[in-house]
Amino acid sequence: MELKLNTFDVKSVKPGQHCSYDDGVLHINCDEIESMVKEDENIMEAKVDIASPGSSQRIVCIIDALKPIAKVGEGTVFPGINGDVCTVGSGETNQMENVSITVCSFFDQTADDTYLRVREALVDMSGETAKYSPFSQMYNIVIEIKANPDVDSLVAYKAVRQAKVKVAQYIGSLTLGKEPSKTQVIKPQKAVDGLPNVCLILQLSSEEAYLSDTLLYGTSIKGFLPTLINLSEMIDGAVVNVRQHYGGQRNPTYFYQDNPVAMDLYDRHGKDLNFAGIVLTRGYYPTLEDKTRAAGYCAKLAQMLGADGAVVTVQGGGNAHTDAMLTVRECEKIDIKTSIIVGEMGDEDSTDFSLVDFVAEASAIVSTGNREVLITLPEVKEGFGARNIIDSELPCEKEQTVPLNHIFCANNQIGGWNISMEVY
């Protein structure tokens, strides 16, 4: 499987009379995008804004972020959602760099779903608090969507899901026929003798609720065993986030399309390691039997890839930590050395035990910081996405104190985070 990947740098995003891309400048006609989103009768309102790095702006109530992509010639992106259910990851794909389709919405919790309700995810575009989210460093095309309250929640959320990938594909298509900033070919590479083989074990999330799931080729992962996937499939949008739980630990679709760990391993192939491939697994398996089965299956797949080592990642926290730690243990049993990326969940003073679960074999741990640390957000001039931060009565532009886990991807555990903790 071979994918020609064309990258187009976005140097600025500006309002325009129509949507276009030329010489690094992306013009957005907000009315055009709003009309596109509202083509679905299950969406009642849509509002589009542009958030720029360094501006006194705050984006709140984020549910997902996507990288604009489009197929050159035949093929599809985001299979099973806005495209045919067909295998992706080959042919030619255009992608935009330094810009995100950032989608904001809110779905009321149900009486039996108080824990898995929508949680806050926000980004400050400037100031001291901007450093916590990687999305503060790129342009955000912010789409605030309000679904029709009279339709079933599953129907409403499906409409929002289709709208977000539709916009990401449309914006990506503005690059068609243009000259890319760079081009590379993504394909499996031959192993180099004498270098260790390292795979990525990428944990997705499914808590078997419609607001806390991940889609693989358009379908929920809640019933699947670990499997293999090509890097190029992920670039083409084969994995889509629908999880709306804690924002700091959320893995948005953007970081499946452009996964920092996977891309780093791919780029290092033949230099200091051989990139052996990607194992997809699930977090939040419901029983110990399920968790043990999946952990052993991950280790088996890694062994089939010929891995000497594995990087293990986590999506979410708590229960998912157990899945990841058991995977570490099973890999180490068959002499596959592991390093795990995991966020901490201690109290705000970091005095409590920070890891929900731990195995003795986990001797190489990369921390993404303590999600409970309190952060004071300064007052800003503009707020996008909603009037209030979730669980706050203050207007979103006002100064207020929130846990770090309110900040989008602040504790992201698949490589897209800016902070960590160190042991002294």
Based on the fold, state whether residues 220 and 339 are members of the same structural domain: yes
Give the Cα separation of 247 and 250 in Å (integer).
Answer: 5
Q: Which tens digit of pLDDT belongs to each residue from 254-278? A: 999 999 999 999 999 999 999 999 9
Rounded Cα distance, 283 and 153, in Å? 24
Average pLDDT over residues 239-247: 86
Q: Tell me, yes or no, whether 198 and 321 share the same domain.
A: yes
pLDDT per position as a tens digit, 147-177: 888 888 788 888 999 999 999 999 999 999 9
pLDDT given at position 355:
76
The answer to the question of residue 216 being in a domain is yes
What is the residue-averaged pLDDT of the chain? 91
346 and 201 share one domain: yes
Question: Within a domain: residue 423?
Answer: no
Looking at residue 384, what is its pLDDT? 96
Is pLDDT at 77 greater than 70 in this prediction? Answer: yes
Instruction: Kindly state the percentage of the chain with pLDDT values over 90.
Output: 72
At residue 413, the pLDDT reads: 86
> For residue 30, is it within any domain?
yes
Distance, CA of 179 to CA of 163 (rounded, Å): 27
Q: Is residue 343 pLDDT above 70, yes or no? A: yes
Q: Is 418 inside a domain boundary?
A: no
Q: Which stretches does DSSP call E strand in 125-173?
A: 139-147
d(CA 6, CA 178) in angstroms, rounded, equals: 10
Identify the band that residue 111 occupies on the pLDDT scale cut at 50, 70 and 90: very low
Cα 398 to Cα 299: distance, rounded to the nearest angstrom: 48
The reply to whether 165 and 47 lie within a common domain is: yes
* Contact between 306 and 276 (Cβ < 8 Å): yes
221 plus 113 within the same structural domain: no
The C-alpha atoms of residue 340 and residue 139 are separated, in whole angstroms, by: 30
Domain extent for 219? 190-371
Residues 132 and 176 in one domain: yes
Identify whether residues 297 and 377 lie together within a single domain.
no
Number of domains in the chain: 2
**Residue 177 included in any domain:** yes
Specify whether 122 is located in the same domain as 225. Answer: no
What per-residue confidence (pLDDT) applies to 303? 98
Q: Say whether both 317 and 349 belong to one domain.
A: yes
Is 60 exceeded by the pLDDT of residue 346? yes
Over residues 18-70, the pLDDT tens digits come to 999 999 999 999 999 999 999 999 999 999 999 999 999 999 999 999 999 99
Q: Are residues 86 and 75 in the same domain?
A: yes
Q: Are residues 393 and 281 in the same domain?
A: no
How much is the pLDDT for 369?
A: 77
- Residue 421 placed within a domain: no
Residues 96 and 238 in one domain: no
Domain presence at residue 415: no
pLDDT at 423 over 80: no
Structure-model confidence comparison of residues 374 and 217, the more confident one:
217
Residue 209: pLDDT band by 50, 70, 90 thresholds? low
